[in-house]
Amino acid sequence: MMAFSPFLHSKDSDLTSVTQPGFDKPYAAFLFDMDGTILNSTAAAERVWSEWAARQGLDVEAFMPTMHGSRAVDTITRLNLPGVDPVEEAALITRLEIEDVDGVVAIPGAAAFLATLPSDRWAIVTSSPLELARRRLQAAGLPVPSILVTAEDVKIGKPDPFGYKLGAERLGASPADCLVFEDVKAGILAGEAAGADVMVITATHAHLLETRHATLKDYTAVKVSRNGAGLLTISRAASAA
């Protein structure tokens, strides 16, 4: 979705590149962003946010790319709009997003992929509030994990790494032993700052991404294996080889 130097170009076909950790490497746990990473809520989110931006007199087209990947309160705070209370407006937007889940769907292969993971080895770390996260997961037909880090759990959202550090801690793992799945710059930077490896999911990207990290279009052509120590490894499915 965004190009950010000095990352190197990465293609989905380069799944086993030795220069891109993520594939064929054992991890203690997986940490997933939610929107754009395991489910696609773009249409619903943009309906709500575009209407809000128009009411605020913003240039909607210019604003929309800036609202992905961050907590609503952080997005609104950055705008520094006169007479606007970011906390109140974020609460309003959250209520509207909870009511509108039309078109929220799982990223292809995500449900089956998550179903293969041991419940104590994966977590979701999202910028969404808890109620909205549960609502979207339900709408997409995805499981709610036992560890779900949401907007309420952090004082500063992504790109701050606290959420991913907290997710790893709750799973009993070091961030350095985790693989973070992300789709936007703020989340990628958060994963990096936490000290984790990052896998970039490109299913919702409208433009080619420049990244030094391994990438996946979706979860349809990968599988997970578990070794004797309980560590998880992602590799290409035999049909994709």
pLDDT digits 0-9 by tens, 145-195: 999 999 999 999 999 999 999 999 999 999 999 999 999 999 999 999 999
CA dihedral 34, 105, 59, 127 (to 10 degrees): -20
Residue 229: count of CB within 10 angstroms of its CB: 7
Cβ 216 vs Cβ 12: under 8 Å? yes
- Asked if residue 20 is part of any domain, the answer here is no
State whether 187 and 84 are in the same domain. no
State whether 114 and 173 are in the same domain. yes
Which is more confident, 67 or 27?
27
State whether 175 and 186 are in the same domain. yes
- Asked if residue 95 is part of any domain, the answer here is yes
List the catalytic residue out of 33, 74, 183, 197. Answer: 33
pLDDT score recorded for residue 9: 35
| CA–CA separation, 183 and 186 (whole Å) | 9
State whether 91 and 119 are in the same domain. no
State whether 114 and 224 are in the same domain. yes
- 213-227 confidence digits (pLDDT tens): 999 999 999 999 999
Strand order across the beta sheet in which 29-32 lies: 148-149, 122-125, 29-32, 178-182, 197-201, 214-216
Cβ 179 vs Cβ 197: under 8 Å? yes
| CA–CA separation, 85 and 82 (whole Å) | 9
State whether 92 and 148 are in the same domain. no
| Location of structure tokens 């959420």 | 163
pLDDT score recorded for residue 239: 56
pLDDT score recorded for residue 7: 30
Q: Which domain holds residue 76?
A: 42-99
CA dihedral 67, 68, 70, 75 (to 10 degrees): 0
- Asked if residue 118 is part of any domain, the answer here is yes
State whether 179 and 87 are in the same domain. no
The yes-or-no answer on residue 35 being catalytic is yes
Model confidence, pTM? 0.84
Average pLDDT, the chain: 89
State whether 83 and 115 are in the same domain. no
State whether 62 and 127 are in the same domain. no
Phi first, then psi: give them for residue 183, nearest 5 degrees: -130, -15
Give the count of domains, the chain.
2
List the catalytic residue out of 12, 14, 35, 100. Answer: 35
pLDDT score recorded for residue 3: 31
Percent of the chain with pLDDT over 90: 80
pLDDT score recorded for residue 136: 97
The yes-or-no answer on residue 153 being catalytic is no
Question: Which residues touch 11 (CB under 8 Å, ≥6 apart)?
Answer: 215
pLDDT score recorded for residue 150: 97
Which is more confident, 238 or 28?
28
